[in-house]
Amino acid sequence: MADQPNVTLFTDGACSGNPGPGGWAYLLRDNATGREKKDAGGDPHTTNNKMELSAVIEGLKSLKQRCTVKVVTDSQYVSKGMTEWVAGWIAKGWKRGNKPVKNVELWKELVALSKQHDVTFEHVFGHAGHPENEECDRMAVMAAQEARGM
């Protein structure tokens, strides 16, 4: 919508071992002003998918008002999850077949946060020279190293 801020949320997660020490990172850009906000965090024992989800969740949590948000991620797990899979999971009581969806609490949080904004998802290839994705990757790897205690 024209009357609400328009932002791009670049995200990435990293994990050293899976499971292992992991990190998430985001770069949030106001598309009108070019102003940016960055943040990262880590967990000493996690999975890559949890960190990919956490990056988007933390970025959306940082928004102070309703926004039009384009999430740019190299995670097909996140992008396909939100654009193709989540509606079916919800309809089936958060199940895939007869098994519970993995990381269900994170997915539920991401769905709830996404409803507070007008969110779209764009998949980019990781480690392919996309500047903001590369920056998020560096930040997530650093957060994973810090979580490991390096």
Rounded Cα distance, 65 and 39, in Å: 18
Residue 137 is a catalytic residue: yes
Catalytic residue among 43, 52, 58, 132: 52
- Give me the catalytic one of 41, 74, 81, 132: 74
- Give dist(CA 17, CA 46) in Å, integer: 9
Residue with tokens 């020279």: 129
146 is catalytic: no
Backbone angles phi, psi at 70, to 5 degrees: -105, 115
User: Is there a catalytic annotation at residue 52?
Assistant: yes
Q: Is 123 a catalytic residue?
A: no
- Options 93, 97, 127, 129, the catalytic residue: 127
Answer positive or negative: Cα dihedral of 96, 70, 29, 118: negative
Q: Which of 12, 43, 58, 132 is catalytic?
A: 12
Helix (H) or strand (E) holding 112: helix 104-115
Catalytic residue among 13, 22, 23, 42: 13
Is 13 noted as a catalytic residue in this protein?
yes
By annotation, the residues acting in catalysis are: 12-13, 52, 74, 127, 137
